[in-house]
Amino acid sequence: MPQMFRWFCAIAFSGLLCCPVVAVGPVIPGVTKILSIEEPNLALAGRILIGELQCLRCHQTPGANDWISSKEAPKLDQAKARLKPEWIQGFLENPGVHKTGTTMPNMLGHLEPTERKTTAEALTHFLATQGPAPTVQRFSSKLIQTGQTLYAQVGCASCHGPRNGAAIEQKEIPNQIPLGKLEEKYHYAALVQFLANPHSVRPSGRMPALLQGNEADAVASYLLQNDTNLTGSLSLNTLFSAYEGDWDKLPDFEKIKPVRTGKSAGFDLTVATRQNSVALLFTGFWEVKRAGTYRFSLASDDGSRLKINNKTVINNDGIHPSTMVQGAMDLTVGVHQVEVSIFQGGGEFELSSEVSGPGLPKSDLGSMLRPTLTPVPVPVQTHPKGAFVIDHAKATQGKIHFAQLGCVNCHKLDSVKAPVPEITLLKGVGGCIGTIPTKGKPFYPLSENQKKLVQVGLDSIAKSAPTKADKISHTFVALNCVGCHQRDTLGGVEPDRSAFFLGTQPEMGDEARIPPLLTGIGGKLKKPWLKEVMEKGTKVRPYMLTRMPRFGEANIGHLVQDLPEVDKLAPVPLV
């Protein structure tokens, strides 16, 4: 680096380089990543800010679109089905309070509190007319533990930070992407659909696809478990004890000590936290409403047993594949203790139990239990929220606000005709990134250092056209590929996040858990394989639990063409 540029970095950006990197204003991980290295590309950081804040939707600057791939705002054409109206209104009134670090500008900050609330309410009623009504989808708390495991292992935690079993943020990792209170924002079915196909709502790939099959149900169940309005919610209603060891039949649980105890949602095997050499003992209480003969089934792989009031009803012991055994027992009205145990040697690990009887169709036994002999009183909701009812007069006014405030410039809607925006030359000071909200302009609460970066980014655009190497760097940083991978001097797993990258082969060391170096990758891999990995996230390291995200061809397709050219190796002479 030339000496003058070193001096420029040290003096003009001393606040960026000499102090700890702290997320102030919008959180854009790639920018902080750039600033953390010894010789940061400040112009790249500025261009990333311009693109992620969508400045080019309302402003112009010659050559900017050649340099910058702007993030597209979330689609709102299905807002009614996706978002809870109470959350919409609160978010519009003050985006930064509801989601710290959001890149959504404050559109109403210049208004007095009463007018701000009225305007936000009108916009909420308008957005509540967009799309069909929310889909009612049954939530199963049996999936919570699976969702927690997926969140921790496949890559969610590396971007969004760690969460505990109750999905509560454990600690804030520097520069983590905020989630906000998801239970206040999303309808359950909508979050499932979003996690399964995030590009349908956020086309720009900043939220990539990671999950497969019904994994989205599990992660949504984990993240929304604190929503008390979920249909079909099953609480942690069973006590469990987990044991580790090798057995060929059920152990005598009174003679061994558990390695872990707690509560589970029914007979949830994921509380074992391992698939082999483990045994579980589930205990709960079942209130029988009608006396009579009750019939039970118990299916497991390997051995299991069902006991009621300390009497064996079904013995399905021994090492075997998934096998169902049936039994029956006469029960009186009242509360009965239920105990289900299972051990697992190796291979498949399965357990299910059903019951039927007088007035009771065949049902999941695990869902009918409670953890205590006497029922836990349910708090009475003294002021239940009424159902949201659309006021069409307010919705009409909200539609006008949506156009006049400029919301439609970023959030395109077929039902709203976008006015010709006042396209002005993009500047690095004042206006949208001033010190206070002003009428007719969105307000981005940028830090002083972020404002300086915007100006540096603008200056760089005017100097030259981007090379393919520049475009590769922009994509790697904008999509936060650098959060997992290192390319040249930029990126890689940070010490604060290293623990979130897990593998199944500890003897291999970091190679089994840390994503690979991408320096020169275009000269190493053939185009068809680059395309396969980048567009489909094809896994070639089965021992690495973190997954390759799927960002969408529209967002990373150029890398398949550009990387081989930029990383092309010099021919090796024949010997």
Q: What is the pLDDT of residues 498-547, one digit of tens each?
A: 999 999 999 999 999 999 999 999 999 999 999 999 888 888 899 999 99
Which of 261-265, 380-384, 430-434 has maximum average pLDDT?
261-265
pLDDT value of residue 379? 46
Task: Average the pLDDT over 473-487 and give the result.
Answer: 96
pLDDT, position 328: 97
Q: Which of 53-67, 164-178, 268-282 has the lowest mean pLDDT?
A: 164-178
Which band of pLDDT confidence, cut at 50, 70 and 90, is reported for residue 14? very low
Residue 440 has pLDDT above 90, yes or no: no
Chain centroid to Cα 231, Å, comes to 21
**How far is Cα 132 from Cα 141, in angstroms, rounded to an integer?**
26
Lowest-pLDDT choice from 15-19, 54-58, 239-243: 15-19
Indicate whether 363 pLDDT > 80. yes
The Cα–Cα gap between 12 and 27 comes to 22
DSSP for 60-119, written as a single string: E-TTHHHH--PPPPPP-TTHHHHB-HHHHHHHHH-HHHHSTT-S--BSSTTS-HHHHHHH
User: What are the domain boundaries of the chain?
Assistant: 141-223, 238-368
**Mean pLDDT value across residues 147-169:** 91
Give the residue with greater pLDDT, 8 vs 105: 105
From CA 289, how far away is CA 372, in angstroms rounded?
17
pLDDT at position 1 over 60: no
| pLDDT at residue 408, rounded to an integer | 94
Please give the pLDDT value at position 137.
67
Give yes or no for residue 40 having a pLDDT over 60. yes
pLDDT class of 377 with cuts at 50, 70, 90: low
Under 8 Å between Cβ of 109 and 61: no
Q: Which of 327, 268, 324 is nearest to 296 (CA)?
A: 327
Residues near 538 by Cβ (< 8 Å), separated by ≥ 6? 532, 548
Beta strands in 135-255 (DSSP E): 238-244
Which residues, including other chains, have CB under 8 Å from residue 430's CB and lie 6 or more apart?
none
pLDDT at site 10: 40
Is there a contact between 318 and 248 (Cβ–Cβ < 8 Å)?
yes
Tokens of 560: 């398949």
Give yes or no for residue 497 having a pLDDT over 50: yes
Please give the pLDDT value at position 424: 66
Please choose, from the candidates 49, 56, 109, 107, the residue with its C-alpha nearest in 3D space to the C-alpha of residue 442.
107
At 118, the pLDDT band (50, 70, 90 cuts) reads: very high
Reply yes or no on whether the pLDDT at 273 is more than 90. no
Query: Phi and psi (nearest 5°) for 66?
Result: -75, -35
CATH superfamily label, 238-368: Galactose-binding domain-like (2.60.120.260)
Interior CA angle at 503 toward 221 and 282, to 5°?
45
pLDDT digits (tens, 9 = 90+) for 225-263: 888 777 555 567 899 999 999 999 999 999 999 999 998
Confidence of residue 169 (pLDDT cuts 50, 70, 90): confident
The residue type found at 321 is P
Q: What is the pLDDT of residue 17?
A: 40
Query: Band of the pLDDT at 376, cuts 50, 70, 90?
Result: low
Residue type for position 53: L
Mean pLDDT of 553-572: 94
With the CA atoms of 12, 14, 20 and 23 taken in that order, what torsion angle do they form, in degrees rounded to the nearest 10?
Answer: -20
Task: Give the pLDDT score at 420.
Answer: 60
Residue 384 scores a pLDDT above 70: no
> Does residue 390 sit in helix, strand or coil?
coil
The hierarchical CATH code for the domain 141-223 is 2.60.40.420
Per-residue pLDDT at 347 exceeds 90: no
Over the Cα atoms of the chain, what is R_g?
A: 28
Percent over 90 (pLDDT), the chain: 66
Report how far residue 148's alpha carbon sits from residue 236's, in angstroms, rounded to the nearest whole number: 14
Q: Which residue has the tokens 């970023």?
A: 410
How many Å apart are CA 522 and CA 527, to the nearest integer? Answer: 8
- Short-list 384, 294, 371, CA closest to 333: 294
Structure token pair of residue 526? 């053939």
What is the spatial distance between Cα 316 and Cα 509, in angstroms, rounded to a whole number? Answer: 41
Lowest average pLDDT, out of 77-91, 100-114, 172-186, 458-472, goes to 172-186
Please state, rounded to an integer, the average pLDDT across all residues of the chain.
Answer: 88
pLDDT tens digits for 399-419? 999 999 999 999 999 999 876
Percent of the chain scoring above 70 in pLDDT: 90
What is the structure's pLDDT at 413? 94
Q: How many residues does the chain have?
A: 575
pLDDT at residue 385 tops 60: no
pLDDT digits (tens, 9 = 90+) for 58-98: 888 888 999 999 999 999 999 999 999 999 999 999 999 88
Token digits of residue 97: 């309070």
- In the prediction, which pLDDT does 386 show? 61
3-state secondary structure of 406: coil
Q: What tokens does 201 get?
A: 């709502």
First to last CA, the chain: 37
Where would I find the H helices in 292-342? none
294 strand-pairing partners: 329
